[in-house]
Structure 1
């Protein structure tokens, strides 16, 4: 609607529809925009890190097998520097101290068979020999798969899994295991010099009716690009809303139109000596 202005007015009044956004709402919106952009950038950085991790693990898995770290360096073994390394170790299995850990694999539900390997230097290394179905839980059903004497095992170095599995805690006193917790298994089986990691035996480790090796699942979810695009999209949607709001309020321009008092709609406006400048929004 056109707004009449008297000649004595110093400034024209703002158009009725040009509501100015409040200061706190403006600050909050700009803060949200900055946070959304920061989250998007963070996801881009996470994606770069994840791709580097995947490449590093692929190189480790397919590298020639190397001897496991020496006992003097066991304290320095970590997921970042050692997990999924292709390693080899030799010794004698202590089959009477094996531990069954519940598992679900591509072969179905069953158990991982973790057996200590006694080395000539007196130390032990837990070997995840592989998977057995529930009907072969009893060691007597797979005696031909338990080699005696000196053996050499190749596989992937894995970091211990303490505190149990998802929503399930290990119960050593009842021999119920849901994760491969090296320290807890060592204590339950009275192993004195056990390595702080275990080894997933590869597919060539199976003997007779023994556990099925080579079932290690290596999967790193990489949805960071989707997350980044989502954050950026939200940020630009907010920016568009801010633009519309400010354009209709703080930055809305006005123009001045001079009309003669005798115009076609003069009856709807002031006439005579009161006729003056009409302000209309653009």
Structure 2
């Protein structure tokens, strides 16, 4: 009996194509698992990490060092007085805005830093953006890189102060902030008194389901192979 009896070329090509796709998705989820575990480890270490000087950390950018989720401190007395952008956000199921302003700095080639002051519900955004007094003490926060926009992200509308994605160059231009650093400072301290925004620097509920997704894709790949082998065996018996 020929080993190729019962094998249909078209079906075989379709199965191999599906197998490559399913295995590729499984491998991608394994890679995402490693990335997510590293991210969660950085966040766990951040919980007790003391703040580093902003200039020292930004200098690491030039050496391609990792600065995402690093706690820093700097001086920014006008952070509650300068113009504010509204970035649409949902926090704990509540719709509102994250308030973005700019802080002048002097760190190498960077002359400004965008500061995410925190979250405020939609109905309170007017009061939350009202100018307040200067801050005498250093500000403390966590550096974060901007998440890239996806195909589902609505376009920014700077003319209406309606922002949907963290676009550092465009936001800096709207705030007239020159030479911005390519990261955000997610403010932790000091928190503005009510009705000011609530600092929300570190995500509190990052899911990590990539292992389950990987096992699902690999399981589907195994099932596809099993069904195809069973189909070939039935054809041979017929």
The alignment's TM-score, normalised by the length of structure 2, stands at 0.74
Q: In structure 2, how many angstroms separate the alpha carbons of the residues matched to 1:221 and 1:92? A: 36
Matches within 5 A, 1:40-79: 40-70=26-56, 74=61
**Contact 1:164–1:181, Cα closer than 8 Å, also in 2:** no
The answer to whether the aligner puts 1:133 opposite 2:132 as a matched pair is no
Q: Secondary structure at the match of 2:77?
A: strand
Q: In structure 1, how many angstroms separate the alpha carbons of the residues matched to 2:101 and 2:179? A: 14
**Contact 1:105–1:215, Cα closer than 8 Å, also in 2:** no
Q: In structure 2, how many angstroms separate the alpha carbons of the residues matched to 1:38 and 1:120? A: 46
Query: 1:108: which partner in 2?
Result: 94
Query: How far is the alpha carbon of 1:77 from its aligned partner?
Result: 6.3
**Contact 1:160–1:182, Cα closer than 8 Å, also in 2:** yes
Match of 2:112 among 124, 143, 149: 124
The answer to whether the aligner puts 1:82 opposite 2:67 as a matched pair is yes
**Contact 1:163–1:170, Cα closer than 8 Å, also in 2:** no
Match of 1:154 among 129, 140, 144: 140
Q: In structure 2, how many angstroms separate the alpha carbons of the residues matched to 1:120 and 1:240? A: 63
Q: In structure 1, how many angstroms separate the alpha carbons of the residues matched to 2:60 and 2:222? A: 51
Query: 1:236: which partner in 2?
Result: 222
Greater displacement, 128-137 / 31-40 = 31-40
Q: Secondary structure at the match of 2:178?
A: coil
Structure 1 residues 244, 91: closer, same or farther in 2, change over 3 A? closer
Q: In structure 2, how many angstroms separate the alpha carbons of the residues matched to 1:137 and 1:238? A: 53
Query: How far is the alpha carbon of 1:200 from its aligned partner?
Result: 1.0
Q: In structure 2, how many angstroms separate the alpha carbons of the residues matched to 1:66 and 1:186? A: 24
Give the superposed CA RMSD. Answer: 3.7
Q: Which has the larger radius of gyration?
A: 1
Structure 1 residues 147, 229: closer, same or farther in 2, change over 3 A? same
Q: Secondary structure at the match of 1:176?
A: coil
**Contact 1:67–1:89, Cα closer than 8 Å, also in 2:** yes
The alignment's TM-score, normalised by the length of structure 1, stands at 0.65
Q: How many residues align?
A: 230
Query: How far is the alpha carbon of 1:129 from its aligned partner?
Result: 1.5
Structure 2, unmatched stretches of 5+, are none
Query: How far is the alpha carbon of 1:85 from its aligned partner?
Result: 1.2
Query: How far is the alpha carbon of 1:53 from its aligned partner?
Result: 2.9
Q: In structure 1, how many angstroms separate the alpha carbons of the residues matched to 2:150 and 2:235? A: 59
